[in-house]
Amino acid sequence: MRKIAWMGFLGIAGLLGAALAAGAAEWPEKPVNLVVGFAAGGETDIVVRALNDKIAANLGGQTVVLNKPGSGGLLAAQTIANSPPDGYNLLVLSLSHVLRQAADEKTPFNVLTDFEPISRIVTQPIVLAVKGDSRFRTIDELIAHARANPNTLNFGSPGVGSLGHFSGELFKSAARIQFKHVPFQGSAPGVTALLGGHIDFLVTALPAITGKVASGDLRVLASYADRRLPEMAAVPTFAEKGYPAVVMSGWFAFVAPAKTPPAVIQKMDRAVAKALADPAVVEALNKLGFNAAHLGPADLKAFIESELKRASEIAKKENIVIQ
Protein backbone atom coordinates (compact mmCIF):
# COMPACT_ATOMS: atom_id res chain seq x y z
CA MET A 1 0.00 0.00 0.00
CA ARG A 2 2.81 2.34 0.93
CA LYS A 3 4.56 1.46 -2.32
CA ILE A 4 1.46 2.31 -4.34
CA ALA A 5 1.05 5.62 -2.49
CA TRP A 6 4.72 6.50 -3.02
CA MET A 7 4.49 5.68 -6.71
CA GLY A 8 1.39 7.84 -6.91
CA PHE A 9 3.26 10.72 -5.29
CA LEU A 10 6.14 10.32 -7.72
CA GLY A 11 3.70 10.33 -10.59
CA ILE A 12 2.09 13.57 -9.42
CA ALA A 13 5.50 15.14 -8.82
CA GLY A 14 6.58 14.10 -12.29
CA LEU A 15 3.51 15.66 -13.85
CA LEU A 16 4.05 18.90 -11.94
CA GLY A 17 7.71 18.96 -13.00
CA ALA A 18 6.74 18.39 -16.61
CA ALA A 19 4.15 21.16 -16.42
CA LEU A 20 6.69 23.60 -14.97
CA ALA A 21 9.25 22.66 -17.62
CA ALA A 22 6.69 23.12 -20.36
CA GLY A 23 5.70 26.51 -18.95
CA ALA A 24 9.33 27.61 -18.83
CA ALA A 25 9.87 26.41 -22.40
CA GLU A 26 6.92 28.47 -23.61
CA TRP A 27 8.00 31.54 -21.63
CA PRO A 28 7.47 34.33 -22.47
CA GLU A 29 3.80 34.13 -23.43
CA LYS A 30 3.26 37.78 -22.54
CA PRO A 31 5.45 40.92 -22.22
CA VAL A 32 8.36 40.72 -19.79
CA ASN A 33 8.83 43.83 -17.65
CA LEU A 34 12.42 45.01 -17.21
CA VAL A 35 11.98 47.11 -14.09
CA VAL A 36 14.28 50.10 -13.62
CA GLY A 37 14.25 51.73 -10.19
CA PHE A 38 14.83 55.21 -11.56
CA ALA A 39 13.05 57.72 -13.76
CA ALA A 40 13.15 57.57 -17.55
CA GLY A 41 16.21 59.28 -19.02
CA GLY A 42 18.61 58.24 -16.26
CA GLU A 43 21.71 56.18 -17.01
CA THR A 44 20.16 52.87 -15.90
CA ASP A 45 17.11 53.51 -18.06
CA ILE A 46 19.22 54.47 -21.08
CA VAL A 47 21.40 51.36 -20.85
CA VAL A 48 18.43 48.99 -20.61
CA ARG A 49 16.66 50.68 -23.51
CA ALA A 50 19.81 50.27 -25.61
CA LEU A 51 19.47 46.49 -25.08
CA ASN A 52 15.70 46.11 -25.01
CA ASP A 53 14.93 45.50 -28.69
CA LYS A 54 17.73 42.98 -29.14
CA ILE A 55 16.73 41.04 -26.04
CA ALA A 56 13.10 40.93 -27.16
CA ALA A 57 14.09 39.68 -30.60
CA ASN A 58 16.32 37.00 -29.10
CA LEU A 59 13.52 35.85 -26.80
CA GLY A 60 10.96 35.85 -29.58
CA GLY A 61 8.65 37.90 -27.38
CA GLN A 62 8.20 41.39 -26.03
CA THR A 63 10.15 43.12 -23.29
CA VAL A 64 9.04 46.41 -21.78
CA VAL A 65 11.23 48.85 -19.86
CA LEU A 66 9.15 49.77 -16.82
CA ASN A 67 10.32 52.69 -14.69
CA LYS A 68 9.48 52.46 -11.01
CA PRO A 69 11.45 55.23 -9.28
CA GLY A 70 11.48 55.71 -5.55
CA SER A 71 13.85 55.65 -2.57
CA GLY A 72 16.97 55.47 -4.73
CA GLY A 73 15.98 52.23 -6.41
CA LEU A 74 14.72 50.51 -3.25
CA LEU A 75 11.05 50.61 -4.24
CA ALA A 76 11.65 48.68 -7.45
CA ALA A 77 13.87 46.13 -5.73
CA GLN A 78 11.34 45.50 -2.97
CA THR A 79 8.54 45.20 -5.53
CA ILE A 80 10.38 42.56 -7.56
CA ALA A 81 11.47 40.68 -4.44
CA ASN A 82 7.77 40.28 -3.63
CA SER A 83 6.63 39.49 -7.19
CA PRO A 84 5.54 36.03 -8.42
CA PRO A 85 8.55 33.98 -9.61
CA ASP A 86 7.19 33.55 -13.12
CA GLY A 87 9.80 35.48 -15.10
CA TYR A 88 7.52 38.33 -16.13
CA ASN A 89 8.94 40.97 -13.79
CA LEU A 90 12.73 41.29 -13.73
CA LEU A 91 14.80 43.86 -11.86
CA VAL A 92 17.78 45.82 -13.08
CA LEU A 93 19.99 45.32 -10.03
CA SER A 94 23.05 47.53 -9.58
CA LEU A 95 26.00 47.84 -7.25
CA SER A 96 24.04 50.63 -5.56
CA HIS A 97 21.57 48.05 -4.23
CA VAL A 98 24.45 46.00 -2.81
CA LEU A 99 26.05 49.05 -1.20
CA ARG A 100 22.73 50.05 0.32
CA GLN A 101 22.39 46.65 1.95
CA ALA A 102 25.95 46.91 3.28
CA ALA A 103 25.31 50.32 4.84
CA ASP A 104 21.68 49.99 5.93
CA GLU A 105 20.62 47.13 8.18
CA LYS A 106 16.97 47.99 7.50
CA THR A 107 17.19 47.45 3.73
CA PRO A 108 13.83 45.84 2.79
CA PHE A 109 15.37 43.07 0.67
CA ASN A 110 18.39 40.79 0.59
CA VAL A 111 20.35 40.69 -2.66
CA LEU A 112 21.55 37.15 -1.92
CA THR A 113 18.29 35.47 -0.99
CA ASP A 114 15.45 37.47 -2.55
CA PHE A 115 16.64 37.29 -6.15
CA GLU A 116 17.81 34.78 -8.76
CA PRO A 117 20.82 36.12 -10.70
CA ILE A 118 20.37 36.11 -14.48
CA SER A 119 22.97 38.20 -16.31
CA ARG A 120 25.38 41.01 -15.61
CA ILE A 121 24.96 43.54 -18.40
CA VAL A 122 27.58 46.27 -18.15
CA THR A 123 30.31 47.77 -16.03
CA GLN A 124 30.92 51.49 -15.58
CA PRO A 125 34.29 53.18 -14.89
CA ILE A 126 34.77 55.08 -11.62
CA VAL A 127 37.28 57.92 -11.50
CA LEU A 128 38.78 60.55 -9.21
CA ALA A 129 38.62 64.03 -10.75
CA VAL A 130 39.80 67.52 -9.84
CA LYS A 131 39.10 70.94 -11.29
CA GLY A 132 40.92 71.69 -14.53
CA ASP A 133 43.16 74.30 -12.88
CA SER A 134 43.70 72.34 -9.66
CA ARG A 135 47.10 72.56 -7.99
CA PHE A 136 47.15 68.76 -8.07
CA ARG A 137 48.47 67.63 -11.41
CA THR A 138 48.85 63.97 -10.46
CA ILE A 139 47.34 61.54 -7.98
CA ASP A 140 50.76 61.30 -6.31
CA GLU A 141 50.68 65.03 -5.57
CA LEU A 142 47.22 64.75 -4.04
CA ILE A 143 48.25 61.83 -1.84
CA ALA A 144 51.44 63.56 -0.72
CA HIS A 145 49.48 66.68 0.25
CA ALA A 146 46.88 64.63 2.14
CA ARG A 147 49.59 62.83 4.10
CA ALA A 148 51.32 66.06 5.03
CA ASN A 149 48.02 67.82 5.84
CA PRO A 150 45.52 65.33 7.30
CA ASN A 151 41.80 66.18 7.01
CA THR A 152 42.37 69.40 5.06
CA LEU A 153 41.05 68.11 1.73
CA ASN A 154 37.35 67.72 0.95
CA PHE A 155 36.10 65.03 -1.39
CA GLY A 156 32.65 64.94 -2.88
CA SER A 157 30.43 62.00 -3.80
CA PRO A 158 26.87 61.54 -5.12
CA GLY A 159 25.70 60.84 -1.56
CA VAL A 160 26.18 58.87 1.65
CA GLY A 161 26.43 55.18 0.80
CA SER A 162 26.82 55.88 -2.91
CA LEU A 163 29.35 54.18 -5.15
CA GLY A 164 31.42 57.39 -5.09
CA HIS A 165 31.37 57.41 -1.28
CA PHE A 166 32.46 53.77 -0.96
CA SER A 167 35.12 54.26 -3.65
CA GLY A 168 36.50 57.35 -1.91
CA GLU A 169 36.70 55.56 1.43
CA LEU A 170 38.39 52.57 -0.22
CA PHE A 171 41.06 54.90 -1.60
CA LYS A 172 41.49 56.66 1.75
CA SER A 173 41.98 53.39 3.60
CA ALA A 174 44.42 51.92 1.09
CA ALA A 175 46.54 55.09 0.86
CA ARG A 176 46.40 55.61 4.64
CA ILE A 177 45.40 59.24 4.35
CA GLN A 178 42.62 61.34 5.83
CA PHE A 179 40.19 63.70 4.13
CA LYS A 180 36.63 64.88 4.68
CA HIS A 181 33.60 63.53 2.85
CA VAL A 182 31.04 65.96 1.44
CA PRO A 183 27.92 64.13 0.19
CA PHE A 184 25.68 65.59 -2.50
CA GLN A 185 22.26 64.62 -3.84
CA GLY A 186 23.56 63.03 -7.02
CA SER A 187 26.52 63.53 -9.34
CA ALA A 188 25.44 66.82 -10.92
CA PRO A 189 25.58 68.91 -7.69
CA GLY A 190 28.98 67.39 -6.93
CA VAL A 191 30.30 68.40 -10.33
CA THR A 192 28.97 71.93 -9.81
CA ALA A 193 30.67 72.13 -6.41
CA LEU A 194 33.97 70.92 -7.87
CA LEU A 195 33.80 73.44 -10.69
CA GLY A 196 33.10 76.15 -8.13
CA GLY A 197 36.10 75.20 -6.02
CA HIS A 198 33.99 74.16 -3.02
CA ILE A 199 35.55 70.69 -2.86
CA ASP A 200 39.03 69.49 -3.78
CA PHE A 201 38.14 66.34 -5.70
CA LEU A 202 35.20 64.22 -6.70
CA VAL A 203 34.82 60.45 -6.98
CA THR A 204 32.08 59.49 -9.40
CA ALA A 205 31.16 57.45 -12.47
CA LEU A 206 33.02 58.58 -15.58
CA PRO A 207 29.88 59.26 -17.70
CA ALA A 208 28.86 61.96 -15.20
CA ILE A 209 31.88 64.09 -16.05
CA THR A 210 32.94 63.05 -19.57
CA GLY A 211 31.84 66.34 -21.14
CA LYS A 212 33.61 68.46 -18.53
CA VAL A 213 36.80 66.45 -18.93
CA ALA A 214 36.69 66.86 -22.71
CA SER A 215 36.30 70.64 -22.30
CA GLY A 216 39.21 70.84 -19.85
CA ASP A 217 37.04 72.07 -16.99
CA LEU A 218 37.81 68.89 -15.05
CA ARG A 219 40.81 66.58 -15.03
CA VAL A 220 40.90 62.91 -14.09
CA LEU A 221 43.85 61.93 -11.88
CA ALA A 222 43.21 58.21 -11.52
CA SER A 223 40.70 55.49 -12.32
CA TYR A 224 39.42 52.58 -10.27
CA ALA A 225 39.60 50.22 -13.26
CA ASP A 226 41.78 47.12 -13.31
CA ARG A 227 43.54 48.46 -16.40
CA ARG A 228 43.86 51.84 -18.11
CA LEU A 229 40.68 53.05 -19.78
CA PRO A 230 40.96 53.11 -23.60
CA GLU A 231 39.30 56.52 -23.72
CA MET A 232 41.79 57.87 -21.14
CA ALA A 233 45.01 56.04 -21.90
CA ALA A 234 47.15 58.66 -20.13
CA VAL A 235 45.30 58.31 -16.82
CA PRO A 236 46.85 55.78 -14.41
CA THR A 237 44.88 53.29 -12.35
CA PHE A 238 45.15 53.19 -8.58
CA ALA A 239 46.40 49.63 -8.90
CA GLU A 240 49.42 50.62 -10.97
CA LYS A 241 50.18 53.44 -8.50
CA GLY A 242 50.66 50.85 -5.79
CA TYR A 243 47.12 50.32 -4.49
CA PRO A 244 45.96 46.97 -5.92
CA ALA A 245 42.91 46.83 -3.65
CA VAL A 246 41.55 50.10 -5.04
CA VAL A 247 39.63 48.56 -7.92
CA MET A 248 35.92 49.18 -8.27
CA SER A 249 33.38 49.76 -11.00
CA GLY A 250 29.68 50.29 -11.26
CA TRP A 251 27.56 47.56 -12.85
CA PHE A 252 24.02 46.64 -13.82
CA ALA A 253 22.50 43.17 -13.94
CA PHE A 254 19.18 41.45 -14.50
CA VAL A 255 17.77 39.43 -11.62
CA ALA A 256 14.44 37.67 -11.07
CA PRO A 257 12.41 36.96 -7.93
CA ALA A 258 13.74 34.04 -5.90
CA LYS A 259 12.53 30.60 -7.04
CA THR A 260 12.02 31.62 -10.66
CA PRO A 261 12.36 28.41 -12.74
CA PRO A 262 15.94 27.70 -13.88
CA ALA A 263 14.79 27.21 -17.48
CA VAL A 264 13.44 30.78 -17.53
CA ILE A 265 16.68 32.10 -16.03
CA GLN A 266 18.77 30.29 -18.64
CA LYS A 267 16.59 31.39 -21.55
CA MET A 268 16.76 35.04 -20.49
CA ASP A 269 20.51 34.83 -19.97
CA ARG A 270 21.02 33.42 -23.48
CA ALA A 271 19.00 36.30 -24.93
CA VAL A 272 21.03 38.87 -22.99
CA ALA A 273 24.37 37.29 -23.84
CA LYS A 274 23.48 37.27 -27.52
CA ALA A 275 22.43 40.94 -27.37
CA LEU A 276 25.69 41.92 -25.65
CA ALA A 277 27.68 40.14 -28.38
CA ASP A 278 26.11 42.34 -31.06
CA PRO A 279 28.72 44.90 -32.30
CA ALA A 280 26.07 47.60 -32.69
CA VAL A 281 24.99 47.16 -29.06
CA VAL A 282 28.59 47.20 -27.84
CA GLU A 283 29.22 50.43 -29.76
CA ALA A 284 26.05 52.04 -28.40
CA LEU A 285 26.99 51.13 -24.84
CA ASN A 286 30.53 52.45 -25.28
CA LYS A 287 29.16 55.77 -26.47
CA LEU A 288 27.12 55.95 -23.28
CA GLY A 289 30.25 55.35 -21.19
CA PHE A 290 29.60 51.68 -20.37
CA ASN A 291 31.30 48.42 -21.22
CA ALA A 292 29.44 45.24 -22.17
CA ALA A 293 30.43 42.78 -19.44
CA HIS A 294 28.32 39.65 -19.48
CA LEU A 295 28.29 37.18 -16.61
CA GLY A 296 25.92 34.21 -16.56
CA PRO A 297 23.78 33.12 -13.58
CA ALA A 298 26.39 31.13 -11.64
CA ASP A 299 29.20 33.64 -12.13
CA LEU A 300 26.88 36.55 -11.35
CA LYS A 301 25.80 34.88 -8.11
CA ALA A 302 29.41 34.53 -6.98
CA PHE A 303 30.16 38.08 -8.12
CA ILE A 304 27.29 39.58 -6.11
CA GLU A 305 28.37 37.62 -3.04
CA SER A 306 31.92 38.96 -3.32
CA GLU A 307 30.72 42.53 -3.92
CA LEU A 308 28.50 42.42 -0.81
CA LYS A 309 31.30 40.96 1.31
CA ARG A 310 33.73 43.69 0.29
CA ALA A 311 31.16 46.46 0.63
CA SER A 312 30.22 45.25 4.11
CA GLU A 313 33.88 45.28 5.14
CA ILE A 314 34.33 48.84 3.85
CA ALA A 315 31.13 50.03 5.54
CA LYS A 316 32.17 48.54 8.86
CA LYS A 317 35.76 49.83 8.73
CA GLU A 318 34.87 53.33 7.58
CA ASN A 319 31.61 53.58 9.54
CA ILE A 320 29.40 54.12 6.50
CA VAL A 321 25.85 54.03 7.84
CA ILE A 322 22.59 54.99 6.18
CA GLN A 323 19.93 55.81 8.77
Distance CA 244, CA 237 (A): 9
Specify the 3-state DSSP secondary structure of 294: strand
> CB neighbours (10 Å) of residue 180?
12
Q: Where are the domains of the chain?
A: 30-123+249-318, 125-241
Amino acid 25: pLDDT: 65
Per-residue pLDDT of the chain (323 residues; tens, 9 = 90+): 444 444 454 455 444 444 445 555 689 999 999 999 999 988 899 999 999 999 999 999 999 999 999 888 999 999 999 999 999 999 999 999 999 999 999 999 999 999 999 999 999 999 999 999 999 999 999 999 999 999 999 999 999 999 999 999 999 999 999 999 999 988 899 999 999 999 999 999 998 999 999 999 999 999 999 999 988 999 999 999 999 999 999 999 999 999 999 999 999 999 999 999 999 999 999 999 899 999 999 999 999 999 999 999 999 999 999 97
DSSP 3-72: HHHHHHHHHHHHHHHHHHHHHHHH--SSPEEEEESS-TTSHHHHHHHHHHHHHHHHHTS-EEEEE---GG
Which CATH number, 3.40.50.150, 3.40.190.150, 1.20.58.190, 3.30.43.10, labels domain 30-123+249-318?
3.40.190.150
Domain 125-241 sits in which CATH superfamily?
A: Periplasmic binding protein-like II (3.40.190.10)
pTM: 0.89
